[in-house]
Structure 1
Amino acid sequence: MEAFIEIAKQEFIVLWVVIDPIGTLPVFVAVTAGMAAAKQRMVAVKAITIAFCVLLGFILVGQVVLDALGIPLPSFQIAGGIVLFLFAMSMIFGQGKPAEDMQSAEPLHMAVFPLAMPSIASPGAMLTVVILTDNDRFSLEHQAITAGLMAVVLLITLCIMLMAAPIMRVIGMTGAAIISRVMGLILAAVAVDAVLDGLQQIGILADLVTA
């Protein structure tokens, strides 16, 4: 039971980092500036719904597509780790979340881009849910729990967006940027671990050690 709780905690932290609820907040504030409260809530709910459907789709069919293409999961895990690392670098050194040129878009379109994708259901999040639900390593029960943890993180993201105004008054844009960069550093470590684990699975590290 303790081992199960520890695994759940680790997966929750990984999902929290790649979905980055706090980092989504500045984007939500930027794209909903000047909107009525009811419309802001509508945009937030729609963005979370779309992001959940996208990530759930990757959980259900992501590995099936990989198998159909003949791509082994370790290779996908290494590629995903590299992409995650590059994404983490953009969080650390860049603006963290794309927020420019958004105020001219239609409100409902904003829920799709940039909120649902790529801010919430980011490429890193898509790759992560596939890795965390590897059919060869995890049971259906484990995959269902991972999907549930993902839903919890998305629900927290929704709550944060609905509380955007008071939160931003407390932490400010500078505080949100700092938190996003700290999460980027954690994500970089997760990405490196994913690459090392993928290399270990295909035996490269073992060959290097014995050479």
Structure 2
Amino acid sequence: MDILDRFVTLWVVIDPIGTIPVFIAVTAAMTATQRRNAAFMASIVSACILLFFLVLGQILIDALGISLLSFQVAGGIILFLFALTMIFGEAKSETDLHATDTAEKQGDKPLPAIFPLAVPSLASPGAMLAIVMLTDNNEVAILDQAITAAIMGSVLAVACVFMLLADPIIRLIGHSGAAIISRVMGMILASVAADAVLTSIVEIARTGAL
């Protein structure tokens, strides 16, 4: 998978644009300094979580005796279902804010930079699976894994910039524009996920490996 493919995959699953409405909603009552700190903290926490899966994700899979090809098929299916929620489901802002409201009703008030900004908005389940699939220790060299980590970092850096510029961006494209862009990204992710599943199935059929 070349650099562009990796960038597109990580861009879609992290979805920096879709995070903008979430950021605006959960930081509405904050001061400018608090909003800026929340953007930086959310980016750093999500980067740490995804780096954990990049470094240790496959080790955990190997320890459980799961074939990476099987994991790629399962991961591709889950990514495809995740893409369907982006296309047909509620906008990210609606689902994440509902989760925040539920937590607050239960008396649990997590720091907004951690939830829902870092998880599940930036470090989503789809992003965790994607980062493992992109860093196969048996096929991907350490240099390529480092490049994937750098690409991930660049996408999160863009997400951080978007959060810092959330107000003018949302005024420019509107909530409807953000929803449209999120659904287009869902279509792209569905294509990437289908390709991952088909490629893995063909490899399993060719090698007989499981």
Q: TM-score, normalised by structure 2?
A: 0.90
Aligned partner of 2:140 among 119, 127, 138: 138
Match of 1:3 in 2: none
The 2-side partners of 1:80 and 1:96 are apart by 22
Match of 2:170 in 1: 168
Q: Deviations over 1:18-63 (max 9, x none)?
A: 1110011111111111211111111111111110000000010000
Aligned partner of 1:120 among 113, 119, 122: 122
5 Å matches for 1:14-163?
A: 14-97=9-92, 98-101=95-98, 102=100, 109-163=111-165
Q: Deviations over 1:72-106 (max 9, x none)?
A: 11111111111111111110111231232436858
Aligned partner of 2:203 among 195, 201, 204: 201
Q: SS where residue 111 of structure 2 aligns? A: helix
Question: Any runs of at least 4 consecutive aligned residues in structure 1 with deviations exceeding 4 A, and if so which?
Answer: 103-108
Listed as ranges, the gaps of 5+ residues in structure 1 are 1-5
Listed as ranges, the gaps of 5+ residues in structure 2 are none
- The answer to whether the Cα contact below 8 Å between 2:96 and 2:121 also exists between their aligned partners in 1 is no
Q: SS where residue 95 of structure 1 aligns? A: coil
RMSD: 1.9
Q: TM-score, normalised by structure 1?
A: 0.90
The 1-side partners of 2:200 and 2:159 are apart by 30
- The answer to whether the Cα contact below 8 Å between 2:51 and 2:149 also exists between their aligned partners in 1 is yes
Match of 1:9 in 2: 4
The 1-side partners of 2:173 and 2:96 are apart by 18
Q: SS where residue 203 of structure 1 aligns? A: helix
The percent of aligned pairs where both chains have the same amino acid is 53
The 1-side partners of 2:22 and 2:112 are apart by 10
